[in-house]
Amino acid sequence: MTSDRAVRHVQQRLRAVGLGFPEYNWLAPRTITTEEALAHLATVMDRTQLADYSSDLPEEEKITACPCCMEDFSDPDTTDPVKLPCSKRHVLCFSCVENICKTSGLTKVRCPWCSIYLANNTNSHVLQPNYLALTAPFH
């Protein structure tokens, strides 16, 4: 109760000197961006890393395109490939993984094929909204 009282006191003092109090900043959780979250959820590769990665696979199983959007990874307009941690064959383009993260939420992202959660016990605390990190950006 005293912290609520302190916040109301600060609001009153700011109004007294003619400054507004950004109420939304106190209500919004601080979360990491999708790009930062993908570093904890999966492995973002470039095209040469993908070529080295899929060189171990038989010719008919080589990863050449994103299975969701069917964009060819050799095309320069296609975003970088992202390897999901659940299987060696589960590789998507960055934009598809980003859309999946935005749709389902960072802590509830699942692999489109095997439905395994990508957030596990080791990385889930980083992906959840943080109300204590004062230097984190507001989203």
Q: What is the pLDDT of residues 19-61, one digit of tens each?
A: 766 655 555 566 777 888 888 888 888 888 888 888 888 888 8
CATH among 1.10.1740, 3.30.40, 3.30.70, 3.40.50 for 31-127: 3.30.40
DSSP-derived 3-state class of residue 112 = coil
Q: What is the pLDDT of residue 30?
A: 66
pTM of the model: 0.66
Provide φ and ψ at 49, rounded to 5°: -65, -40
- Summarised one tens digit per residue, pLDDT across range 76-111 is 888 889 999 888 889 999 999 999 988 888 888 889
**pLDDT of 138 over the 70 cut:** no
Start-end ranges of CATH 3.30.40 in the chain? 31-127
Share of the chain above pLDDT 90, in %: 10
Nearest CA to 127 out of 42, 30, 37, 28 is that of: 37
Q: What is the pLDDT of residue 139?
A: 54
